[in-house]
Amino acid sequence: MKQKMLIINADDCNLTSQVTSAILKAHENGIVTSTTFLINLPVGPGVVRELLSRKKLGIGLHMNVTLGKPVAKPELVRSLLQKDGRFKKKEQYSEKKLPPVSEILEEFKAQLLKFEKVFKRLPTHVDVHHHMHDFRPFLEALAAVAQKHDLPVRWTRLLTEPDIRSAHKDLKTTDHFYGNLDPHTFWTEEVLRHLLFTLPEGTSEIMCHPGWVDDELCSISSLTIPREREYQLFSLKELRRYVDHLGIRLAHFGCLR
């Protein structure tokens, strides 16, 4: 029987200090095994040290082109920016006129380089804030960075398309992915326990967004109260025992390398 291996990734580390603190607590007390870091946002003192001190926590890179300022030179990524020099919001990207892969790649490479400088190592994996790699130019840029550095990536629906999967057959990702970006919904214990009980064989990722809400978060994110609900859920020690009982192995993306 093939093993069931589960990555529980908390998105948006470094979005705010309260989100980061909640993620760390959910890792210490609960079942969060991985997180992804927004490197283009200001990095507070001590944050990197706090993260690196959790030896079992996978730390990935949350490539970001929908919030804050670019890491690359603005003149190299103009199609990603609003007039004020900040990234376009997700809804400002038109599916009919997406940015060129070259500009997205320029920013992704710059963010990876900054991550390496800040953390003194490569991330355990890469994914994209707001799941923008569900659009092909963003996936192409992400795949280029990931394959160059032998990094796993988060699953995307595009990889179910035969031509795309064939073009990126060497891309490392999980067999299964669970999560959504609806700011009004959140994981409940009933739904999570059912998923754990029925988890298929192979590797799976559960995406979650634990966090504590404050004015700073409300000013930049539409995902607020659900973060606190998910913090409470993914911090439950009973879930650790339930996962063990089911024979599921908790891991981070390093298990795919």
Q: DSSP characters for 92-145?
A: GSBTTBPPPHHHHHHHHHHHHHHHHHHHSS--S-EEEGGGGGGSHHHHHHHHHH
CA dist 133 and 233 (Å) reads 27
Residue 54: pLDDT over 80: yes
> How many other CB atoms are found less than 10 A from the CB of residue 222?
10
Q: Is 188 helix (H, G, I), strand (E, B) or coil?
A: coil
CA dist 250 and 209 (Å) reads 18
Whether the CB-CB separation of 5 and 202 falls below 8 Å is answered with yes
Mean of all residue pLDDT scores within the chain: 96
CATH classification number, 4-256, choose in 3.40.50.1370, 3.40.50.720, 3.20.20.370, 3.30.930.10: 3.20.20.370
What was the pLDDT predicted at 122?
98
> How many other CB atoms are found less than 10 A from the CB of residue 147?
14
CA dist 88 and 191 (Å) reads 34
CA dist 115 and 256 (Å) reads 20
- Per-residue model confidence as pLDDT tens digits over 198-253: 999 999 999 999 999 999 999 999 999 999 999 999 999 999 999 999 999 999 99
Q: Is 51 helix (H, G, I), strand (E, B) or coil?
A: helix
Work out the average pLDDT over 32-43.
98
- Per-residue model confidence as pLDDT tens digits over 87-132: 999 999 977 789 999 999 999 999 999 999 999 999 999 999 999 9
CA dist 177 and 154 (Å) reads 8
Domain segments of the chain: what residues? 4-256
CA dist 196 and 213 (Å) reads 27
Instruction: Determine what percent of the chain is predicted with pLDDT higher than 90.
Output: 94
CA dist 248 and 213 (Å) reads 31
CA dist 122 and 104 (Å) reads 19
What was the pLDDT predicted at 1?
60
Residue with token string 């060129």: 100
CA dist 210 and 231 (Å) reads 4
Work out the average pLDDT over 186-198.
97
